[in-house]
Amino acid sequence: MGIDRREFLKRTAAIAGVTLLGGSSIAHAADKKDFSKFFTDNTANERDWKIWEKRKKQSQPNGEPYGILVDTTFCIGCRRCEWACNNWNKNPNQPVEKFEASVNEKNSVFNDVRRTHAGNFTVVNRFEKKDRDPVYVKKQCMHCVDPACLNACFVDAFRKTPEGPVIYNPNVCIGCRYCMVSCPFGIPAYEYFSAFHPQITKCTMCYDRVVDGRMPACVENCPAGALIFGSRSELIKTARRRIDSNPGRYINHIYGEQEAGGTSWLYLSPVDFDQIGLRTDVGTTPVPDLTKGYLLGVKIFEMVSAWPLVFGAYYAVSKLREHRNDKHAGGPSDTGKKT
Amino acid sequence: MENTSLWLKNKILLGMTPKEYLKINLTLPNLIAALILCVSVPIMVYRIIYGLGPSTNLSDNYPWGLWIGFDILVGIALAAPGLTLGTAVHLFGMKKYHPFVRPAILSSLLGYIFAVIALMFDLGRYYRIPYLLVWSWGFTSILFLIGWHFFLYINISIVEFSPVLFEWLNLKKWKDFFSKLTVWATIFGVIIAAGHQSALGALYLAARAKLYPLWYSPLLPIFFLLSAIFAGISMVIVESALSHRFFANQIKDFDHAEFDQLTLGLGKAASSALFIYFLLKVFDLVRTENWVYLNTSYGYLYLVEVLGFVLVPAMIFLYAVRQQNAKLTRFAGLLTVLGVVLNRLDVSIVAFNWYLPASQKYYPRWTEIMLTLGVITMLVLSYRFIVNRMAILHAHEESEPESMPMAGKKQAVNF
């Protein structure tokens, strides 16, 4: 079976932990059978961070940043990308046949719209449409050009690599989870069931493969040609070409070209993006720009302008008081109260 | 040895033998406090051993729940008395409010310390908190600013509080040294407090896609700062009323009329802050044309918050000051405090992820509520412990009396 002994024990312990005090919302959520929430000790983050540190020292020449184009019109919902991702990143996994079977099953994971979890970096969701075939949409970290998580992290645990992937360092993370709050796509997940060394997990865009000149595991395993790996700028041209030369097949928008300041993952869709689970209200401003102005303002205020203001007020008030005291010389002073 | 036990008897046990002390502490409020702690301390241990997953309702959609929304956002806003009263008295020379300064500084100090203690249970790797200060700096993060400001502000509060502590220990030299620092600490404290009170609102600037439009605004930092100011003033009104009831023995020559006058003065200040906040809220609503959202269930909640807990208390304050009605002022103060609680919970929990179906929304688990309650209980007990021993509500007796003055009044108070 796909589950080994160690993992089984861990899951049992986690479930025991949940039931001991009477169930939490994690257990009550739509996909009850999804054990990926309880998974802990993923090693993908650490592996990638080590590679990044090594490459930083070597100062390798950087090419153009990579991206991945998801053409949802090609996706057949086989979920092989999920399998390949779990397989490469050592997440809880099942035989690939089980993933492939979902598309034909009546009761499958497709009944719910799923999100990423601690042991599940990518999920494929199905969106039923009235007058056409359902649309299958893969979901994972978008690897923003200007990432919200990186900006939010108060111990500087994220990096935007020159190759495109956004990676995370579990060795400095304090576990505040502000990256999860600020991510506009709702991607980072947390190892809630690790008591002593929980970490953030998310798609790594297979940084460890990309730096070796290989494509991410999901792209390599896609049998339908729905995922294309390449330089981001080339992919935008490809996407544009596809829209232009196939009238009616796509709506005229490349999701990710501008969203939240641009992302490494790009999407093409036959229907409006908000109908296939992609937020269209994230805007085109990078999330870091939403806080930059405030941060600069507060720093200037605290370091420069606050001091003269406060001192000035203090000085003015004490002058005024002196003046008043002089006037009422001999009278009861209002400063005479005992401390 | 002899000296130590005498010191213990006089300073800690208020001049009683341990047996007497225990006996006098067998009261109903203490029993309730003990009961709460009996439940919440094991929950704290459970959280440490089993992690956040089993002990909270947090999820990947709701990384922040009650422990951030209440313990930090509400806790810090309500811990603003030190900021408001310290500024008014030490900076602007409003000496008549001096009796309120020490309780205000104490509640700020304890408020911040216990907020940070509560925060430790929410952080996944609490033991790494020093990383923030010495190891890995995320300069672009609003949270980095807040973390450092908490650290600095607790230190400032300790400096501000030191004179009281050294008075109690009869170390006059130390007391004089720290008394001289008070003005400096206050000035530094005002700047730091304004910085992090607004930064708590700025945290949610990044969550534009997740916060309901009625609550999201580029003005969030200003809203949080302003509401912290009237929360701080209202907390002083409420706290002082409670203190004068429960620590009546501490205040010897208590002038009821004067106290009411001071309360009215605070009410006036709170009223102005509330009106400015309300006008800004209206301005923001008009500017963003967000009124289209008012006719939704979230819109109704927003109206309850902005009308019922901002405009209404502002009016009551105004009316009470006109009528010279201190009692009504205290009621308005309570209403304002509740309004700030509602606002912080709306931003952090209710209006957050508003698009999720009710089944996926966050509701605090009983364990989360109990842990929060436990932390609040510890705060109240610490406050009472200090007020009963140090010169918080009354002036300090210069010379060490032969026997503790408290001894004769045992029956009147719970220690």
Contacts of A26 in chain B (CB under 8 A): 53, 57-59
* Model pLDDT for residues B131-164, shown as the tens digit of each residue: 888 878 888 889 999 999 999 999 999 998 888 8
Q: Do the chains contact at A178 and B208, CB–CB below 8 Å?
A: no
Give the residue, A105 or B92, on which the prediction is more confident: A105
Q: Do the chains contact at A26 and B59, CB–CB below 8 Å?
A: yes
Q: Do the chains contact at A155 and B140, CB–CB below 8 Å?
A: no
Distance from CA of A55 to the nearest CA of B (A): 20
Contacts of B51 in chain A (CB under 8 A): 17, 192-196, 198
Residues of chain A numbered 11-40 and touching chain B (CB < 8 Å): 14, 17-18, 20-21, 24-26, 28-30, 37-38
Q: How far is CA A91 from the centre of its chain?
A: 17
Q: Domain segments of chain A: what residues?
A: 31-285, 287-331
Q: Do the chains contact at B123 and A302, CB–CB below 8 Å?
A: no
Contacts of A290 in chain B (CB under 8 A): 205-206, 208
Q: CATH 3.30.70.20: does it fit domain A31-285?
A: yes
> Residue B371: pLDDT above 60?
yes
- What pLDDT, on a 0 to 100 scale, did the predictor assign at position B72? 92
Which residue segment(s) compose the domain that B126 sits in? 50-392
Strand order through the sheet with A265-268: A227-231, A66-71, A265-268
Total domain count, chain B: 1
Q: Do the chains contact at B183 and A287, CB–CB below 8 Å?
A: no
Cβ pairs bridging A and B (under 8 Å): 229
**B35 pLDDT tier (thresholds 50, 70, 90):** very high
Q: Do the chains contact at B59 and A25, CB–CB below 8 Å?
A: yes
Structure tokens given for A237:
């041209």
Query: What does A203-252 look like in DSSP terms, one character per residue?
Result: --TTHHHHTTT---HHHHT-SSS-EEEEEHHHHHHHHHHHHHHSTTTS-S
Q: Judge whether B22 lies within some domain.
A: no
Q: Judge whether B2 lies within some domain.
A: no
Strands A66-71 and A265-268: parallel
Structure tokens given for A336:
């005479």
Query: φ, ψ for residue A158 (rounded to 5)?
Result: -105, 155
Q: Do the chains contact at B208 and A283, CB–CB below 8 Å?
A: yes
B180 in Cβ contact with B163 (< 8 Å): no
Average pLDDT, chain B: 86
User: Which whole-number Å values give the CA distances from A157 to A173, B23, B116, in the listed order?
Assistant: 6, 54, 22
Rounded Cα distance between B309 and B125, Å, is: 37
Rounded Cα distance between A40 and A34, Å, is: 14
Query: Any chain B CB within 8 A of the CB of A325?
Result: no
Q: Select the residue of B58, B96, B147 nearest A192 (Cβ to Cβ).
A: B58
Q: Do the chains contact at B125 and A155, CB–CB below 8 Å?
A: no
Q: Do the chains contact at A156 and B138, CB–CB below 8 Å?
A: yes
Q: Judge whether B24 lies within some domain.
A: no
- What pLDDT, on a 0 to 100 scale, did the predictor assign at position A27? 41
Distance from CA of A72 to the nearest CA of B (A): 24
Contacts of B96 in chain A (CB under 8 A): 334, 337
pTM, two decimals, is 0.85
Kindly state the average pLDDT of the residues B70-88: 87
Rounded Cα distance between B326 and A273, Å, is: 58
Distance from CA of B369 to the nearest CA of A (A): 14
Residue A314's identity, in one-letter code, is Y
Residue identified by tokens 């610490």 is B382
User: In chain A, at which residue ranges do the beta strands (DSSP E only) sit?
Assistant: 66-71, 123-127, 135-139, 158-160, 166-168, 189-190, 200-201, 227-231, 265-268
Identify any residues that bridge with A127 across adjacent strands, giving them in sequence order: A135
Q: Judge whether B414 lies within some domain.
A: no
Contacts of B54 in chain A (CB under 8 A): 14, 17-18, 20-21, 24, 193
Closest CA to B272 of B314, B238, B232, B313: B314
> Residue B385: pLDDT above 50?
yes
B86 in Cβ contact with B190 (< 8 Å): yes
Which chain B residue has its CA at the smallest distance from A318's CA? B93
Indicate which CATH number applies to the domain containing B223. 1.20.1630.10
Rounded Cα distance between B195 and B186, Å, is: 14
Percent of chain B with pLDDT over 90: 47
Q: Judge whether B6 lies within some domain.
A: no
Q: Do the chains contact at B55 and A21, CB–CB below 8 Å?
A: yes
* Model pLDDT for residues B158-191, shown as the tens digit of each residue: 998 888 888 888 888 888 888 878 877 888 888 8
Contacts of A28 in chain B (CB under 8 A): 359
Structure tokens given for A73:
């019109």
- What pLDDT, on a 0 to 100 scale, did the predictor assign at position A29? 43
Query: What does A156-177 look like in DSSP terms, one character per residue?
Result: --EEE-TTS-EEE-TTT-----
Q: Which of A87-96, B9-18, B29-38 has the lowest mean pLDDT?
A: B9-18
pLDDT by position in tens, chain A (length 339): 344 545 444 444 444 444 444 444 444 444 455 678 888 888 899 999 999 988 888 876 667 899 999 999 999 999 999 999 999 999 988 898 888 888 888 888 888 888 999 989 999 999 988 888 899 999 999 999 999 999 999 999 999 998 999 999 999 999 999 999 999 999 999 999 998 999 999 999 999 999 988 999 999 999 999 999 999 999 999 999 999 999 889 999 999 999 999 999 999 999 999 999 899 988 899 999 998 889 888 888 888 777 777 777 777 777 777 777 776 654 444 443 333
Q: Judge whether B11 lies within some domain.
A: no
- What pLDDT, on a 0 to 100 scale, did the predictor assign at position A79? 92
Buried b (16+ CB within 10 A) or exposed e, B159-193: bbbbbbebbbeeeeeebeebeeebeebbbbbbbbb
Which chain B residue has its CA at the smallest distance from A298's CA? B195
- What pLDDT, on a 0 to 100 scale, did the predictor assign at position B84? 84
Residues of chain A numbered 94-113 and touching chain B (CB < 8 Å): none
Q: Do the chains contact at B51 and A194, CB–CB below 8 Å?
A: yes
Q: Select the residue of A156, A180, A292 nearest B63 (Cβ to Cβ).
A: A180
Rounded to two decimals, the ipTM of the complex is 0.85
- What pLDDT, on a 0 to 100 scale, did the predictor assign at position A293? 87
Q: Do the chains contact at B363 and A117, CB–CB below 8 Å?
A: no
Rounded Cα distance between B390 and B106, Å, is: 11
